[in-house]
Amino acid sequence: MKIKERLFTPGPVPLPPEVIKALGQQIIHHRTPEFTQTFLAVREKLKQLLKTDKAPILFASSGTGAMEASITNFFKKGDRVLVINAGKFGQRWRDLAKTFGLKVIDYEIEWGKTYDKKKIVEITEEFPDIKGILVQHSDTSTTTLHDVDYLAKISKKLKDCILVVDGITSVGVYEVYPEDIGIDVLVTGSQKALMLPPGLSILWYSEKAEDRLKKSNIEKYYFSVLAESKKQEKGQTAYTPAINLIIALNESLKLMLEEGLPQLAKRHEIMALATREALQELGLKLLSQSPSNSATGAYTPEGIDADSFRKVLLKLGFRVAGGQDHLKGKIFRIAHMGYFDVMDMIQVIAGVEFALLKTGVPVELGKGVKKAQQIINQYL
């Protein structure tokens, strides 16, 4: 039999059958009452997901599109921003901000670590004119969670600052309620916990951020939040939307809301905890000191190339992700976000055990699985 591939990469993630069914339907035209009705239903569900009365806007782009829109719509050229640069996607904030003429304070942090609160205070005291703090809630490249509540407090204390959060791998993993937290701009993408193929990005903004829309002087055309929000409020989009993805989003949001957001966050927490504990039980070192519940990264043992290890895992039927840049060949990453359950984690941990044995690491079969089961058992 051909290898049965199980997708454990941190985006894209597997699709629920309800989503696959929605994606497989004949396309409809978007300038129709039928599309508008679905689009308005999606907006209502997104409001529930983010616990807000203000619906986010959607772009037909990958997540980076909404990141770019956050820069080009809510800032002016020359604005000073603080970038929490703790991984591949922190670098993306920095590069985007620079590309569009912002002055960047690039707070570089070792991959796998989070920011130091004292350092944030120091920076914001030295530069009280900071107009934005840009951060990943969960940086997928380092499987690290950054505390956005603290940054929201700091941002509020500054004269005219907004907190811009990349929630691409935190929305749908955690309860991310931007108004409760004090986030001004929140972006996410379809191919992560929203359980869709790539191609949709989502951007929510606060009233404070809204004030900036007319003042921004950065060039934009496709990614105009003003143009889109006017249309989207009425259930239409400025340009051709990703029709089938939006129809499928209606289904995935339904699943998420039916599960209940606290329960959804709990499921992710248990899957992540079980995986982290199991890997450590097998003697592996975790990549992150502030691990995110969206994915777990771990180093392979000394002398074992992580990419060769991943190939062994793939032969066993598990596709996991590797490390990026200097972490290439050193780590592997297992996703928990979206359409996964605790049994999937037990399975992938069993796969890791076999792969360790096959690469010459003397592990006791079942040791990691047992640990994961013990953890999961507390919640069953």
Ligand X SMILES: Cc1ncc(COP(=O)(O)O)c(C=O)c1O
Order of strands, edge to edge, in the sheet holding 185-189?
57-59, 201-205, 185-189, 162-166, 132-136, 80-85, 103-108
Cα-based distances in Å from 299 to 187, 284, 296, 317: 29, 6, 10, 20
Residue 63 sits in the site that holds ligand X (CB under 6 A): yes
Residue 189 sits in the site that holds ligand X (CB under 6 A): yes
Residue 62 sits in the site that holds ligand X (CB under 6 A): yes
**Minimal CB distance to ligand X: which residue?**
63
Question: Shortest Cβ distance from residue 244 to ligand X (Å)?
Answer: 17
By C-beta, is 310 or 371 nearer to ligand X?
310
Residue 112 sits in the site that holds ligand X (CB under 6 A): no
Q: Which stretch binds ligand X (CB under 6 A): 15-23, 49-57, 60-68, 303-311?
A: 60-68
| One of 9, 136, 296, 347 touching ligand X (CB under 6 A) | 136
Residue 68 sits in the site that holds ligand X (CB under 6 A): no
264 close to 195: Cβ distance less than 8 angstroms: no
Q: How many helices (H) and strands (E) does the chain have?
A: 14, 14
Q: Which stretch binds ligand X (CB under 6 A): 61-69, 102-110, 225-233, 348-356?
A: 61-69
Residue 168 sits in the site that holds ligand X (CB under 6 A): yes
143 close to 331: Cβ distance less than 8 angstroms: no
Q: 81-100: which residues touch ligand X (CB under 6 A)?
A: 89
How many whole angstroms separate alpha carbon 259 and alpha carbon 266? 11
Question: Shortest Cβ distance from residue 46 to ligand X (Å)?
Answer: 17
How many whole angstroms separate alpha carbon 187 and alpha carbon 359? 40
How far does Cα 64 stand from its chain's mean position?
11
Tokens coding 337: 């976000």
89 close to 168: Cβ distance less than 8 angstroms: yes
Q: Burial level of 151, CB count in 10 A (0-12/13-18/19+)?
A: buried
| One of 124, 140, 155, 216 touching ligand X (CB under 6 A) | 140
Q: Which stretch binds ligand X (CB under 6 A): 16-24, 134-142, 221-229, 307-315?
A: 134-142
Residue 324 sits in the site that holds ligand X (CB under 6 A): no
Question: Shortest Cβ distance from residue 90 to ligand X (Å)?
Answer: 9
Tokens coding 56: 């986010």
Residue 297 sits in the site that holds ligand X (CB under 6 A): no
Question: Shortest Cβ distance from residue 368 to ligand X (Å)?
Answer: 26
By C-beta, is 102 or 278 nearer to ligand X?
102
Contacts with ligand X, residue ranges (CB under 6 A)? 11, 62-64, 89, 136, 139-140, 166, 168-169, 189, 198
